[in-house]
Amino acid sequence: MTSSVSAASADASARRSAPGLSLLLQHTADAVRAVLQGRSLAEGLPEVPAALRPGVQALTFHALRHLGLARALVSHLADRSPEPAVQALLIVAVSLLVAPADGVRYAPHTVVNQAVEAARQHRRLQRQAGFINACLRRLLREQTDLMAEVAHDPQARHHHPAWWVERVRRDHPQDWESVLQASQQPGPMTLRVNRRRIDRSAYARRLSEAGMASLPTGDDGLVLAQPCAVEGLPGWSEGLVSVQDAAAQMAAGLLLDGQDWGPQHRVLDACAAPGGKTAHLLERADAQVLALDADAARARRIDDTLQRLGLQDRAEVKVADAADTAAWWDGRPFDAILLDAPCTASGIVRRHPDVRWLRRESDVAALAVQQRRLLDALWPLLKPGGRLLYATCSVFRAEGEDQMQAFVARHTDARRQPSAGHLLPGAGRPAGQFNDNPPGGHDGFFYARLDKPAA
pLDDT band at 439 (very low <50, low <70, confident <90, very high): low
* CATH at 265: 3.40.50.150
pLDDT exceeds cutoff 70 at 132: yes
Q: Compute the distance between CA of residue 390 and CA of residue 416 in angstroms, rounded to an integer.
A: 11
Does residue 346 form part of some domain? yes
pTM (2 d.p.): 0.91
Task: Average the pLDDT over 105-114 and give the result.
Answer: 92
Q: What are 214's strand-pairing partners? A: 224
Identify whether residues 236 and 258 lie together within a single domain: no
Amino acid at 26: Q
The reply to whether 366 falls in a domain is yes
Q: What are the tens digits of pLDDT across the range 25-53?
A: 999 999 999 999 999 999 999 999 999 99
Q: What is the pLDDT of residue 17?
A: 43
Per DSSP, the chain holds a count of helices (H) and strands (E) of: 17, 11
Please give the tally of structural domains in the chain: 3
Question: Are 152 and 196 in the same domain?
Answer: no
Residue 420 has pLDDT above 50, yes or no: yes
Q: Of 243, 263, 281, which residue sits at a domain end? A: 243
The answer to whether residues 249 and 218 touch, using CB atoms and an 8 Å cutoff, is yes
Terminal-residue alpha carbon distance, the chain:
84
Instruction: Mark whether 237 and 312 lie in a shared domain.
Output: no
Evaluate if residue 62 carries a pLDDT over 90: yes
SS3 of residue 391 by DSSP:
strand
* 190-193, strands of its sheet edge to edge: 214-217, 221-224, 190-193, 241-243
pLDDT at res. 78? 87
Last residue of a domain, one of 156, 173, 201: 156
Mean pLDDT for the stretch of residues 238-251: 97
Residue 11 clears pLDDT 50, i.e. is over it? no
Let me know whether 209 and 341 are in one domain: no
Residue 424 sits in the same domain as residue 296: yes
Return d(Cα 282, Cα 289) in angstroms, integer. Answer: 8
Domain assignment present for 385: yes
Cβ 448 vs Cβ 441: under 8 Å? no
pLDDT-derived band at 138, boundaries 50, 70, 90: very high
Residues involved in catalysis = 393
Q: Are the beta carbons of 385 and 452 closer than 8 angstroms?
A: yes
Q: Comparing 262 with 12, which gets the higher pLDDT?
A: 262
pLDDT in the model for residue 275: 96
Per the prediction, the chain carries an average pLDDT of 91
CA distance 320 to 293: 6
Mean pLDDT of 78-101: 91
Is the pLDDT at 13 greater than 90? The verdict is no
Strand-pair category, 382-392 with 214-217: unpaired
Asked if pLDDT for residue 365 goes beyond 70, the answer is yes
**404 in helix, strand or coil?**
helix
Q: What's the average model confidence in pLDDT over 209-234?
A: 95
pLDDT of the residue at 330: 96
Quote the pLDDT of residue 348. Answer: 96
* Same-domain pairing of 236 and 263: no
Q: Are residues 402 and 307 in the same domain?
A: yes
pLDDT tens digit sequence for 270-312: 999 999 999 999 999 999 999 999 999 999 999 999 999 999 9
Average pLDDT over residues 67-78: 95
Give the integer Cα–Cα distance in Å for 418 and 97.
Answer: 47
Residue 119 falls inside a structural domain: yes
Q: How far apart are CA 191 and CA 184, in angstroms?
A: 21
Same domain, 308 and 354: yes
Q: How confident is the model at residue 321 (pLDDT cuts 50, 70, 90)?
A: very high
Report whether pLDDT(3) > 50: no
pLDDT at 103: 63
Answer whether residue 336 shows pLDDT above 60.
yes
Q: Please check the confidence at residue 408 and state whether its pLDDT lies above 80.
A: yes
Contact in structure between 159 and 65 (CB atoms under 8 Å) = yes
Instruction: Please check whether residue 161 lies inside any domain of the structure.
Output: no
- Of 113, 139, 156, the residue at which a domain comes to its end is 156
Nearest 5°: the CA angle 186, 191, 196 is: 165
Same domain, 239 and 268: no
Residue 179 lies in a domain: no
Determine the average pLDDT of the residues in 196-207. 97
Residue 162 lies inside a defined structural domain of this protein: no
Q: How far is Cα 73 from Cα 157, in angstroms, rounded to an integer?
A: 12
For residues 230 and 266, membership in a common domain is answered with no
Distance separating alpha carbons of residues 39 and 54, to the nearest angstrom: 19
Give percent above pLDDT 90 in the chain.
86
User: Quick check: is 177 in a domain?
Assistant: no
Q: Does residue 380 sit in the same domain as residue 404?
A: yes
Give pLDDT, residue 105: 78
CATH label of the domain that carries residue 116: 1.10.940.10
What range defines the domain where residue 233 resides? 190-243
Share of the chain above pLDDT 70, in %: 92
Residue 9's pLDDT band, with cuts at 50, 70 and 90, is very low
Instruction: Flag whether pLDDT at 2 surpasses 60.
Output: no
SS3 state at 316: strand
Residue 259 clears pLDDT 60, i.e. is over it: yes
Does residue 212 sit in the same domain as residue 305? no
pLDDT at 401 over 50: yes
Nearest to 386 by CA among 340, 447, 453: 453
pLDDT digits (tens, 9 = 90+) for 169-191: 999 999 999 999 999 989 999 99
On whether the CB atoms of residues 184 and 165 are closer than 8 A, the answer is: no
Q: What is the model's pLDDT at position 81? A: 84
> What pLDDT was estimated at residue 100?
73
